[in-house]
Amino acid sequence: MTDGNGGRLSDKDREALFARVNRRKTNAAAPRPVPTIAYSAEVTDFTTLPGYKELRTQQSFAAVIGLENPFFRVHEGRAGADTMIGNRTLSNFSSYDYLGLNGHPAVSAAAKAAIDRYGTSTSASRLVAGERPAHRDLERGLAEIYEADDCVVMVSGHATNVGVLGQILGPKDLIVYDELSHNSIVVGAQLSGAQRRSFPHNDLDALDAILSASRRQFARALIVVEGLYSMDGDWPDLARLVEMKRRHGAWLMVDDAHGLGVLGRRGYGLAEQAGIDPREVDIWMGTLSKTLAGAGGYVAGPSPLIDYIKTSVGGFVFSVGLAPPVAAACLAALNLMKSEPERVTKLHENGRIFLEAAKRHGLDTGTSGGLAITPVILGESLKAAMLSDKLSQRGVNVMPILHPAVPERLARLRFFITSDHTAEQIEEAVEITADEISKLSGTADVMKAFAQTLG
């Protein structure tokens, strides 16, 4: 080693040089001190999550007054017009099985045959793991209902709305939806980044005013409504919506989750109920968990839309395909709905019986049209919870809908009617409901005062 001028370094100079180099390496490699930050215990404590304290207060209050939790009840068999809970048989008004197809021999046989042939899972997304005949047959069958070019089915109804709405619109676009739209519609609209407007329930004058004032500011616009509203049992004016979407240059999407199997003479949904060509609606969405006795969601519409969804929407591209037994069961249920329209006729008759009986007993049924879904509005969450408990004790299973799912003034019991209910079951359930409501007012006031003392 030289000194840079051609001369050799002495041993002493060489050792000094090595020492300086090693010091530089040591200093460079030494980790910088990380400042210590004192975090509050609250940031890692799940009990500080928003609403948790209120939840625990409600649970404690219910325990003190001996009010049974109406949610997460264990059904010990098939939940149809009757159900078994705690080794007791109750009349059941809390299932979406509108046409009584869950457990139908043909539906169960189709699921069992699919298990024997395909197993219980597609194991990955349909893009990766491929498809089964039941997937395509079910999609063709649903497309026929809406006279659509094509259809795609997914594993979750909620994820269908979230994924599709979140993908097909963006920040330059506008989404306008009914204020009572399902959570999945609201979340999907938020995910899209589009501008969002809501209009009062079924107030199409307000919708028209929003579009008149705002439509020109955006590239695309989408109107979203439901075919049959699950909280109120009413439906929108489809003919006027079609006229409005044409005039404002917008797409129209109908979430027909509760409409399929219920609305229309054959149960073909809102379009049949309204006497409108279903092709006038740009996007039909629905679920497989109500009338079709399965689980999942679907979208039917023009081929370009369906092709785009199949290659772009995360809920389809990155999610496992619908389980073959579920697809086969839903297809069998759909075929039964088509071949046995008398089920829809019986459902309509039962819905009418319930609505007329409720009105005869002076119950507040809101705006329900009496097709499968009818609420009994009580106006206070505590009353709704107490009434549900009293009805359970008397052999009627029906769920309360409480704040914040609905405004406190609209707390209710929500009755789902099926084609399998008997007229006697329906009349008895309404009579028991009216009887328990008449006993409830004084008790509820006392309990409400007690709740206030608990803070």
DSSP secondary structure, 32-90, as one string: PPPPP----GGGG-GGGSTTHHHHHHHHHHHHHTTPPP-SSPPBSS--SSEEEETTEEE
In order of 8, 10, 20, 324, the CA distances from 2 in angstroms are 4, 9, 17, 79
| Three-state secondary-structure class, residue 231 | coil
Is 3.40.50.1820 the CATH classification of the domain at 52-92+342-453? no
Which residue matches tokens 């705006």? 367
**Kindly report the CA angle at 309 between 305 and 315, in degrees rounded to 5?**
150
CA–CA distance from 208 to each of 129, 214, 222 (Å)? 45, 10, 13
Task: Measure the CA–CA gap between 427 and 443, rounded to whole angstroms.
Answer: 25
| Residue 65 burial by Cβ neighbours in a 10 Å radius (0-12, 13-18, 19+) | middle
Strand partners, 282: none
DSSP at 323: P
Q: In degrees to the nearest 10, what's the CA dihedral of 309, 168, 281, 414?
A: 90
Domain map (residue ranges) of the chain: 52-92+342-453, 105-339
Is residue 257 a contact partner of residue 182, using CB atoms and an 8 Å limit? yes
Q: What pLDDT shows up at residue 450?
A: 45
Cβ atoms within 10 Å of 333's Cβ, excluding its own:
25
d(CA 286, CA 378): 30
How many angstroms separate the CA atoms of 320 and 258, rounded? 25
Helices (H), 248-323: 270-274, 303-312, 314-317
Q: Which residue has the tokens 């199949």?
A: 310
- This prediction has a pTM of 0.88
Token pair, residue 331, equals 């297809």
CB proximity list for 221: less than 8 A, separation 6 or greater: 173, 174, 175, 176, 211, 215, 248, 249, 250, 251
Kindly state the tokens that stand for 241.
């919506």
CA distance between the termini of the chain: 84
Name residues of the chain where pLDDT drops below 70: 1-31, 64, 442-455
- Kindly tell me the sign of the dihedral angle through the C-alpha atoms of 161, 164, 166, 169: negative
- Comparing CA positions, the residue from 15, 93, 117, 12 lying closest to residue 373 is 93
What does 357-400 look like in DSSP terms, one character per residue? HHHHTT---TT--SSSEEEEE-S-HHHHHHHHHHHHHTTEE-EE
Fold observed for domain 105-339:
Aspartate Aminotransferase; domain 2 (3.40.640)
Amino acid in position 38: A
Over residues 33-71, the pLDDT tens digits come to: 777 777 887 788 898 888 888 888 777 777 767 778 888
